[in-house]
Structure 1
Amino acid sequence: MSDSPSPLADPHIAFDPTGGRRDIVVLGATGSIGTQAIDLVLRNPDRFRVTALSAAGGRVELLAEQARRLRVRTVAVARADAVPALREALSAQYGSEPLPEILAGPDAAAELAASECHTVLNGITGSIGLRPTLAALAAGRTLALANKESLIVGGPLVKEVARPGQIIPVDSEHTAIFQALAAGVRADVRKLVVTASGGPFRGRSRAELAGVTPADALAHPTWAMGPVITVNSATLVNKGLEVIEAHLLYDVPFDRIEVVVHPQSYVHSMVEFLDGSTLAQATPPDMTGSIAVGIGWPERVPDAAPAFDWTKASTWEFLPLDSEAFPSVGLARQVGAAGGTAPAVFNAANEECVDAFLAGRLPFNGIMDTVTEVVAEHGTPARGTGLSVADVLEAESWARTRARELAAKATAEARA
């Protein structure tokens, strides 16, 4: 590894330990991570208290119910036009009691992220989570990071503002590595091994993937996730993003980060040490345990997630990655090594292509074909020029526009 300072995620550093009950801000409260985190908090009121919630604004009834159950002081929505419906939903929940403060607009989540609390759980989906990530870090909060995109597209920006050990990863793969690293020191790490379920199309060739449908791609064999993440799992783009994330979190070179297919999704990732020992973190497929580590570290939350029943027989498989059928991981390594705005271009182009695929405007193989073309057109960014949020947003905007153009061209050609 490099001689740089302690990595962003370091299990040996208990960042700003305060003891007692922790105040938590949950961003992306109505999503998968947010709802599971809230359930965990409600089961452990002596350990955690949620002080504020944010959401996009599409599920105001659920957000209002969460606010009332948690008795939060502030609720935020990204969509200002959702405020009237949110106020009505809150009034129905609170009755004659005073309503919580309401914030709205694209900067509302970032404002909450900087508010007084111990930990910010960023469960927002997509690169819109970058500003809240930066705001939480700049305010000195512990960041439980489930929003991998903010780190991937803004890696240098995050590394510039984050203090060692300030980030606790919530992705199951990176929480697994985080816990395994606690058993050793950085100098003894040979490589990180990131596991992949292989998605619903494991074992298929590229030719066999040509005709798969959105319904096929959304039928994940082991995890229940949102549509974008599920399709990313089917293309293994999600695993490529996790390779970049592992590099940034743990300061491990790309050539020491390996991907292995593990269909059962029991082993969430592994760390191989110089003496030949490999430490694996394993639980049944469930995100609650990872969330508990994110908001509770360095303490464990009893019964946070299901454990294995070792009285029952089971088989665990580990298989090599088929890089021909699933070229996304190799492309992710390429853009991660290029740095600059290249990861933002990769991520934004993929999001547009996934939308086109789900809408029936692009074939499954067309997702990576189009992303690869957009990345190639973008080229390698200049080194030493610095990176700003504006740079990231400009690169994303270009990538989305170009991906839509190429997807539309592919559709027109297919129909001709």
Structure 2
Amino acid sequence: MPPFDVPEGDPFGPHNLPYGVFSPPGSSERRVGVRLGDRVLDAGAAAHALGSPYASLLARPTLNPLLAAGRTAWSDVRRALTAWVTVPAHREAVEPLFHPLSSVTLHLPFEVADYVDFYASEHHARNVGRIFRPDAPDSLTPNWKHLPIGYHGRSGTVLVSGTDVVRPSGQRKAPTDPVPVFGPSVRLDIEAEVGFVVGAPSELGRPVPLGGFRDHVFGLCLLNDWSARDVQAWEYVPLGPFLGKSFATSVSAWITPLDALEEARVAPPERTHALLPYLDDADEEPGGYDLRISVAVNGHVVSEPPFSTMYWTAAQQLAHMTVNGASLRTGDLYGSGTVSGPAEGQRGSLLELTWNGRDALELPDGKRTFLEDGDVVTLSAWAPGPDGVRVGLGEVTGRVVPRADPAG
């Protein structure tokens, strides 16, 4: 057992050490923190107390300076943090700098620059195709196996876990309606995703190759891409998602560094189509991650999507996102797209779980097709870690609240 009283096998033990930003009890000051079990270490204060050369990066109100410092700094800081919470000689200096997790206020851990969301699960894409194009010869669009499809979202509405989600309003038009109407969405959905956080920026005009993924991406987190399906259905032709997606995207308060997930790396599913050279990862290190996600509505688990089934990897998504010369900025966030597996109980959205509202879910508090006001959605996950220990990912929770002015 490590010397800082973390139970053996705790998914947030010293093998994990995710980063966040918190305010101590009774203070509005924001501090970089690292989670260890059910406590939060003030990383900046620890760095100062122990004379770390990276103290200035950690004594900030956001993770962005650390993100921008690059891979060498990320590795050095992680090694130092691991020593600070495991080496007995550091205990006297570090122990007073912990706060109970239940006593702190957690904030959005980084300033989001740009936000992109992808569509990388073949199971999800095929389900959506079967729902909306039942007579099509192939449930996938012609381009799906050739490139990671994505869209640009709205970074200003990325929310930290625990923030209420106001039911969005917009135009909607059912196939039988003569004209569109305006009002609150009646088909509010979730999408269980994984978000990747960019640290080191890139140069405009210079694409990032597959092998550059770990030099630019700092870590990952769980992400809920809330979706107003009725608004989306009316607006998305011909330019794709807009108001049906841009009202809220929830992310975890904890960013798990990639270095904590080495044992979770897996090969992606077998490719069925030849890939263009910039996406061909046949000779690259395994690009998938074995993340076991759980989706709960009002505390009742409705789905357990496996991230290992994702067809397109985060490295391929990054390569495609920059192949036209678009530059990366520190704090860029990109979502994997809905994570769905082959089984019915592995679908990552209510759209799929209820087959577009046809088959209601039976919950302890009643039936659901789409979300009702007051519903609380929680995403949680873990990954295989060293010596059989799990690596926990910070959960994402959001409660749906009604819009104050639903008419418009």
Structure number with higher relative contact order (C-alpha < 8 Å, ≥ 6 residues apart): 2
Higher helix share: 1
Higher strand share: 2
Given the two structures, how large is their TM-score scaled by the length of structure 1? 0.24
